[in-house]
Structure 1
Amino acid sequence: YQDRQQRFLSETDLERLKAKLLAYLECEIDTRGYVTGKGWAHSIAHVADTFDELVLHPELDETEFSDVLEALWSKVMIPTIYVHDEDERILNPIFGLLDRGMDEQELIVLLENLPARLSVYKQELESEQYWQVVHNVKTFLKSFLVKLHDTDRHTLQTAVLLTLKNV
């Protein structure tokens, strides 16, 4: 946010920041939200907020949108139930990418592939873990629909609805 206002980071610094955020998101396994007695861990929500600022940065090139989208998308399909609105926080940078001109078709392809990915997960995961992933996916898709409600993105809205019905 500050760099968007004052432009003090170099292109190299921004590239390094993006790379580190992507690596962090890939490696993060602590997906807890609020931890009783300790406070907010909320790593997924906080990194989603950071990506939200990054996608708004004018130096983020369109060629980098797919990397960010894939990284965020991967955190929807985890075998730990999100309970502190992580789904909504993950959606914020995705909508930022759309607002910056990302092709909706990239999201539609991910949506269309969700049922097949879940089928693979069903074979690979223990039953409880699989159903936790299904819960996260359904919650994410419902939040996605709500966020799309007041937009003109009817094709994307239809794709989300069809995916939700097929999950």
Structure 2
Amino acid sequence: MPMDGKQIKHLNQQVRELRHATAKGQVFKQLDRLAGDLIEQTPRHPRTPIATVEDDAAFYDELRQMYEKLQDDQLDQVSDVWLLSLLDHFKVDDPAIRLNGCLMIFNALLANDLLTNDQLRLSFHYLAQNDILLGHIDEPKNRAVFGRATALSALASLLYADRAGYFFLQAYEVDRLVDLVAMILVMEKDTRGFVGEQGWAHMYAELANVLGELSQREELVRGDKVCLMALLLANYSRLTTPLIMGENEQLADYLVNLMNQHQVYRRYFLLALRNWRLRLRASRPQNAGNWHQIFNYRRLMQCLLMVNDLPEQIGKVILEQDDQNE
């Protein structure tokens, strides 16, 4: 059985306790271990059926009409009902509908200032739901990842829109999203990039986008940002499948931008990096998953070294560690 409401509530409580302890400076040196323990101890579940979105020919016709109106600059508003239907179709398998249709039109509505502040908040609250962002996340890889990733992509756009001048989000709404992203980082394991006829999953690329936006939020204390970084690194270092479709470049950009904000992020990254290297040195690769952990590490370090404004101190440590393992 997948995680029920009680289990999700318990995980949310654990995440909040970790965030608060980090913000108070109580667990800095232990944070890497605590984040890893939380990831390893959160249970996985067998695959369960995934609810499908009904194939709605009328909606698809309207989607095409909306696109044509946008192209001709003839669209001035959309209804709440249609907007919710658009967001609901983020879950469909067909990338022509999910990505080239719904997500593209949603971003166009944002870019052209065609959503009211109420509709922006409606979109945010719809997407930032447990059922959408955590749906089937604790199960073996499945097609629910497409809905999770597309929702994250749209949330990153909404966060940027709010930061760029729309100012529709309240602090408690951003705080709730931080909890959800933290829970995703505890449970996510689907590293697939492009998936044949279903198009892009790219969950870790979308996580990088959302984490990058959250790192720019002034209402988040440094402890929140450190905690999110800690969970990302703990998650990444435990992946047993490869990230090879551009995710590492985006994750490296997020990490470097964050580390350049304040020395506390550089300090934590170095601490986590040292622990990560110790775990790798102590390991004895026995299977493909073990080797993927090693090569994922190398890919991320290489991407970090390629970012122009990587702090010099970080670059030296990465190169020194690589030299020691030649």
Normalising by structure 2, report the TM-score. 0.47
CA distance in 2, matches of 1:35, 1:106: 35
Q: Kindly indicate whether the alpha-carbon contact (under 8 Å) linking 1:72 and 1:90 is maintained by their aligned counterparts in 2.
A: no
What is the rounded CA distance, in whole Å, between the counterparts of 1:3 and 1:102 in structure 2?
A: 27
| Residue 161 of structure 2 corresponds to residue 2 of structure 1 | yes
Q: Which residue of 1 aligns with 2:176?
A: 16
**Contact 2:259 / 2:311 at 8 angstroms: preserved in 1?**
no
Per the alignment, residue 37 of structure 1 pairs with 197
Change (3 A) 1:92 1:151: closer
SS at match of 1:76: helix
**Percentage identity across paired residues of the two chains:** 23
- Tell me which moved more, 81-90 or 99-108: 99-108
CA contact (8 A) 1:31 1:42 kept: yes
**Aligned pair 1:68/2:204, yes or no?**
no
Once residues 140 and 165 of structure 1 are traced to their aligned partners in structure 2, the CA distance between those partners, rounded to angstroms, is 16
Structure 1 residue runs of 4 or more that deviate by more than 4 Å after TM superposition: none
Given the superposition, is the C-alpha separation of residues 81 and 128 from structure 1 closer, same or farther in structure 2, using an over 3 Å criterion? same
Q: Secondary structure at the match of 1:14?
A: helix
SS in structure 1 of the partner of residue 322 of structure 2? helix
Gaps of 5+ in 1: none
Instruction: Give matches, 1:106-125, under 5 Å.
Output: 106-120=268-282, 122=283
Calculate the aligned-residue CA RMSD, in Å.
1.8
Asked if 2 retains the 8 angstrom alpha-carbon contact of 1:80 and 1:129, the reply is yes
Deviation at 1:164, TM superposition (A): 2.5
Query: Would you say the 8 A contact 1:111–1:163 is kept in 2?
Result: no
Q: Which residue of 1 aligns with 2:300?
A: 140
Q: 1:90 aligns with which of 214, 228, 251?
A: 251
Contact map agreement 1:25 1:71 (CA 8 A) in 2: yes
Compute the displacement of 1:136 (Å): 0.3
- Unaligned 5+ segments in structure 2 are 1-159
Query: Partners in 1 of 2:275 and 2:313 — Cα distance?
Result: 16
| 2:319 aligned with 1:161 | yes
Whether the aligned pair in 1 keeps the contact of 2:249 and 2:300 (CA below 8 Å) is yes
Counterpart contact for 1:115–1:166, Cα < 8 Å: no
Query: How far, CA to CA, are the matches of 1:83 and 1:152 in structure 2?
Result: 21
Query: After superposition, what is the alpha-carbon deviation per residue over 1:28-56, rounded to whole angstroms, capped at 9, x for unaligned?
Result: 12110000111000111111111111111
Q: TM-score, normalised by structure 1?
A: 0.88
Which residue, out of 207, 211, 221, partners 1:51? 211
- Cα distance in 2 for partners of 1:118, 1:22 equals 24
Q: Which structure's relative contact order is higher, taking Cα pairs within 8 Å and 6+ residues apart? A: 1
Q: Distance in 2 between matches of 1:11 and 1:166?
A: 45
